[in-house]
Structure 1
Amino acid sequence: MGSPTDSTVKHSSSVLCKVVAIFLLLAAVTAFTVWLVYRPHKPRFRVVGAAIYNLNATAPPFISTSMQFTLVTRNPNKRVDIIYDKLSAYVSYRNQQITPPIVLPPLYHETKSTVALSPVLGGVPVPVSAEVVNGLVMDESYGVVNLRVVLLGKLKWKAGAIRTARYGVYVKCDVWVGFKKGFVGQVPLLGAPPCKVDI
C-alpha cells in the first residue's frame, strides 16, 4: 500500500505532464498559425531582355562571349521580405558553362515588389567541348540559339524581426534568342518561359 507522499508525487507528476502537453500543443498550434499567415512563396524570375556583344566559337577548345540578360524577379509574398546574398550568375549551352560565374551584389527584396537585374556575363575565354562549338555554329546558321541563364546563391526569409536560416536558391532560365554570326547588340527573345526556381 502506497504512502500519502507517493500519491502526492504521482499526482504532481500527472499534473506536470498535462501542463507540458498543453504547452506543447499550444506551441504547435501557434507555430502552425504563424506558418499559415507567413508561409513564404517562392520568388518568380523571368528573362525579359538579352544582348549579345560577342560570341566567338571559332577557337576550340575555348569560347569567348560577352552577353547581357535582363531578369525581372517578383516577390509574391504579402508579409515576407527576401534577402539574397552570395548570388552568382553564368550562362550555359547544352548543359556546359560558357561564361565564368560573376558575383552579384546582395539584394533586399521587399514584399510585393519587382526588381530588375542586368548582369553582363562573359569576357573571359572558357574551355568547352567540340559539341558546344559545333552546336553554336549550327544554331547561329539557323539564327536561333538556346541558352540557359543560371543564378545560384542563398536567401533568407524575413517577417518583421524574424529571419530564417539561409536556404540555397537555384534559378534556371531557358531562353531562345534570335542571333546570327556577326550581329552585335540587342537580340530578340524568341522564347523565355518563367524560370524554374528551386529552394
Structure 2
Amino acid sequence: MGNRPKDPRRAFCTFITIFLLLAGLAVLIGWLIYRPHKPQFTVVGAAIYDLNTTSPPFISTSMQFTLVTRNPNRRVSIMYDKLTAYVSYRNQAITPPLVLPPLYHEKKSTVALSPVLGGAGVPVSVEVSNGLVMDEAYGVVALRVVVLGRLRWKAGVIKTGRYGVYVKCDIWVGLKKGFVGQVPLLGSPQCKVDI
C-alpha cells in the first residue's frame, strides 16, 4: 500500500481558509488599536451683536459663538473639510450658512473656533419671529448652533474615505431686547455629534 496523493483542491481550500482567518485577525487587531472615536464639541461662549426682527418676518443677526472641539484619539488625527455653520431657532435657520476653513485636528488635541454668524435678513415664519420677540422679553433664548461638513480619519499614512459630520449644539442664552455683547450661557451641554 502506497501513500495516496494529496488532493490539490483540498490543500488550496485549506490555504485560503487560513489566509482569510489571518487577514481577518489582522484587521480586527488594527481596528482595536486604531478605532477612532468621535470628536467632541462644546459651546463655551456667545456674543450677540445684532438681533432684529422686521416685517414681513425677517431676522437679521450677527452672533459669535466659541466652540471648543477635542480629538479624544491617541493614535488617529482628524481632517475636516467643507465645514459650514449656521444658527437655528425653533428648527428654522436664522443665519445664512457660513463656510469655515479646513481644519486639521492632531491626536489628543483641543481646538477653538469662533465664527461670526449672521448677515442680511433671513426670511422666517411668523411663529419664529413672534417667538423670538417673546423669548427676548422673557430674557432667555434657546438657540441651536449647527456645524456640517466632511471628515477623514488619519492614522500614520493611512487615510479613510470622507464621512459626513453633523454637530448639533443646543444652548440657552440670557438675552434681553437691545442688549449687545457677551451673553451668559445658561445651559451648555456637550454637543451631539453624528458621523
Give me the whole-angstrom Cα distance separating, in 1, the residues matched to 2:190 and 2:174: 18
**1:56 corresponds to which of 37, 52, 55:** 52
Matched residue, 2:88:
92
Which sections of structure 2, spanning at least 5 residues, go unmatched? none
Match runs of 1:97-136 below 5 Å: 97-136=93-132
Letter in 2 for 1:149: V
Structure-1-length-normalised TM-score: 0.95
**2:163 corresponds to which of 163, 167, 190:** 167
- Tell me by how many angstroms 1:60 deviates: 3.0
Q: Deviations over 1:160-189 (max 9, x none)?
A: 010000000000000100101111111011
- Tell me by how many angstroms 1:125 deviates: 1.0
Q: Is the 8 A contact 1:60 1:133 kept in 2?
A: no
Match runs of 1:13-162 below 5 Å: 13-162=9-158
Structure 2 residue matching 1:124: 3-state secondary structure: strand
- Tell me by how many angstroms 1:58 deviates: 3.0
Q: Percent identity?
A: 75
Structure 1 runs of 4+ off > 6 angstroms?
none
Give me the whole-angstrom Cα distance separating, in 1, the residues matched to 2:155 and 2:120: 40
Q: Is the 8 A contact 1:178 1:187 kept in 2?
A: yes
Give me the whole-angstrom Cα distance separating, in 2, the residues matched to 1:16 and 1:133: 72
Give me the whole-angstrom Cα distance separating, in 1, the residues matched to 2:96 and 2:130: 20
Matched residue, 1:191:
187
Matched residue, 2:173:
177
Structure-2-length-normalised TM-score: 0.96
